[in-house]
Structure 1
Amino acid sequence: MRFLKNSVIIILIIIFYAFIIEPFSIKKSYLNIKLSELNFKEKFLNEKNINIKIVHITDLHMYKYIFFHDKILDEIKKENPDIILYTGDTIIKNTDKKDLNMFFKALSEIAPVYAIYGNWDYYDLDMINEIYNKNNIHVINDNTISIYFNKFSLKLIGLPIYKKLSCIDTTPASYTIVMEHIPDTVFYNKEAFDEANLILAGHTHGGQVYIPIITKWILKKYAFYLRGKKEFEDNKIMYINNGLGAWFNLRFFAKPEILVIKLQK
């Protein structure tokens, strides 16, 4: 009887933590990239002081604007980023349009935002595009854009999720970031993978309910890699972000995540 009572207490604590505590906490991860260790052309390394800060967020899945979204924005503000990269899944069904606009208006006031679409965004792409346009969110889905920090060029390639990239700008850049929603997408876009220095993705929610070995086995057909940093040859890095929102407002050992990337010479 005592064992049963203790078991019930433990289960209730786990449920409370998974539904009330962890979904509203935020983990900040840091990725420091030393450009001098990479194989850059000499003309790009002539820049004396390269110090670029990028925030990556994903999988907002907003229904209504609540205190948690203030918390997200405050944590991003603290980092004072040069740009913000967002890799999709903005809505769920019946997302409140005014609340969604409130969030992206505040986000765009922190730093320029560059976004691609996630699979959930196709439930109401018109609403998302209207909000993005209103708040000057730069959509680079199935497109390429270059941002310049003096002579240092940062190329962003936005991968679509349901088709191959229509075309790719092969103009040399100081550093190239590929933005995708589903981690496996980049392997269907060889040109983008070859160009990439860094690949940013979301979609997996870090497993959402993360039980080592078991979660990876269950989700392996949805993503070859579940979360965090993965390194390839030639100093190529992929980072799969846990994201911010969740299905059923449930998270367990997969905290909502903000990734801070520092590009430094």
Structure 2
Amino acid sequence: MNQHLWRRIKYLLLGVAGFLLALLLWSVIEPYTLDQEMVAAEVPSLPQSWQGKHIAVVSDFQFGMWMANISTAERAIAHIVEDRPAAAIIAGDFVYKPGENLTPELNRVTEVVRPLTAAQIPTYAILGNHDYGVSTAASADNTGQQRANQIQQALESIGVQVLQNEAIAIPNRDPASGSEPFYLVGIGAHLPNQAKPLEAIAQIPNNAARFVLMHNPATFAELPAGTAPVAVAGHTHGGQIRIPFMPHWSWMAWVEDKTSWSWLSKIQGDTVRVSGWIPGYGNANNHLYINRGIGFSHLPIRFNCPPELTVFVLQRAT
């Protein structure tokens, strides 16, 4: 091999190594960025007084994970307080792996979330599989339920209403609105076998305007046609590590237990997504949006998948 060719190979290898190092450095930085997505949510039968109002959603704090990006969660909450939406929603997985002593994680959770209720923003939450310490349906047990109860009690102590397969009417802070209701449906966690979507949906009047909340997207497929025109989930972290121009591949879907991601096989069509609006999934006239979340699992990195605060702008469906 002549010297000139060897020099070119060496420079090429150094360039590839430098490029990979830059990608690695960015994957450590990206978790501390924050995307604020403004998303139009078309709701049938939406009362006029709710037209244009905002519903803010965050998900998957995963506090307790090493190098947890608590500062990003704090910035997301600060943005919500500044926007003053009609409601703030947290879609589960407050902690990463709840141990025997949950106090440190719960103190962080309540410290981060408290500004929402202090600002008198109606704030609601559901629990996720990590809040039960569950990675598969078979691993659910009484200890997990006890820890989930602790998390729920801590949230309710600061004024966050935790929904478990129930529906509530969100209060309208506009004094001129009269009594036009807009419902929030909160479904229980899927993997610990707490999800009862039919029971939750049955609590609202037929054709009433609603916004449906769940943690795991797998729950969405169980909702009858037309009962969830706008629904939101978390759980996927958007894939956490995504290769550009390869929508069919995500690191989280590869490393997580396949029962947790079985819903992917039910998506019809060629485009498989794990964040944003999910086309070709669920029953007719139901639409699911998946929030990318704030935290992470396994590794404290994100690539091509920054944390997300979703602000839904309510519009009456035509």
TM-score of the alignment, normalized to the shorter chain, above 0.5: yes
Aligned to 2:221: 187
Q: Deviations over 1:193-227 (max 9, x none)?
A: 53222110011111100122452598285142411
Q: Tell me if structure 2 keeps the 8 A contact 1:207–1:216.
A: yes
Is 1:51–2:52 an aligned residue pair? yes
Counterpart-to-counterpart distance in 2, 1:217 and 1:23: 15
* Cα distance change, pair 15–185 in 1 and its aligned pair in 2 (3 A): same
Q: Is the 8 A contact 1:154 1:173 kept in 2?
A: no
Residue 12 of structure 2 is aligned to residue 3 of structure 1? yes
In the alignment, structure 1 residue 228 sits paired with structure 2 residue 228: no
State yes or no: 1:204 paired with 2:236: yes
CA distance in 2, matches of 1:170, 1:130: 25
Q: 1:12 aligns with which of 21, 26, 29?
A: 21
Instruction: Report deviation, 1:173.
Output: 5.5
Alignment partner of 1:238 is 2:270: no
Structure 2 distance, partners of 1:106, 1:65, is: 18
Q: Which residue of 2 aligns with 1:262?
A: 313
Equivalent position to 2:148, from 125, 130, 141: 125
Instruction: Specify whether residues 204 and 66 from structure 1 end up closer, same or farther in structure 2 by C-alpha distance, changes over 3 A only.
Output: closer
Identity, % of aligned pairs? 23
What is the total number of aligned residue pairs between the two structures?
255
Query: Shift of the alpha carbon at 1:34?
Result: 5.2
| Pair 1:172 & 2:201 matched | no
CA separation in 1, counterparts of 2:208 and 2:16?
56
The CA distance in 2 between the partners of 1:90 and 1:75, in whole Å, is 19
Task: Select which of 59, 62, 78 maps to 1:74.
Answer: 78
Aligned to 1:24: 32
Any idea what SS the aligned residue of 1:55 has? strand
Q: Deviations over 1:84-143 (max 9, x none)?
A: 111101101365332222012123224111111100001331331221121111111211
Which range moves more in the overlay, 167-176 or 3-12?
Answer: 167-176
Structure 2, gaps ≥5 residues long: 1-9, 134-146, 173-177, 265-272
Give structure 1 stretches of 5+ with no counterpart. none
Instruction: Output the CA distance in 2 between the equivalents of 1:49 and 1:157.
Output: 17
Distance 2:22 2:250 in 1: 24
The Cα of 1:179 is off from its aligned counterpart by: 0.7
CA distance in structure 1 between the aligned counterparts of 2:251 and 2:37, rounded to whole angstroms: 25
* Coordinate RMSD, CA, aligned: 2.6
Return 103-112 or 241-250, whichever deviates more: 103-112
Q: With structure 2 as the length reference, what TM-score do the two structures score?
A: 0.72
Is residue 109 from structure 1 mapped to residue 118 from structure 2 by the alignment? yes
- Determine if contact 1:22/1:251 at 8 Å carries over to the other structure: yes
Structure exhibiting the larger radius of gyration computed from Cα positions: 2
**Counterpart of 1:11 in 2: which secondary structure?**
helix
Q: Give the number of the structure whose residues are more often strand, by fraction.
A: 1
Distance 1:68 1:147, change over 3 A: closer
The CA distance in 2 between the partners of 1:68 and 1:146, in whole Å, is: 30
CA distance in 1, matches of 2:151, 2:242: 30
Aligned residue for 1:153, secondary structure, equals coil
CA distance in structure 1 between the aligned counterparts of 2:237 and 2:69, rounded to whole angstroms:
20
1:249 is matched with 300
1:86 to 86, 90, 97: 90
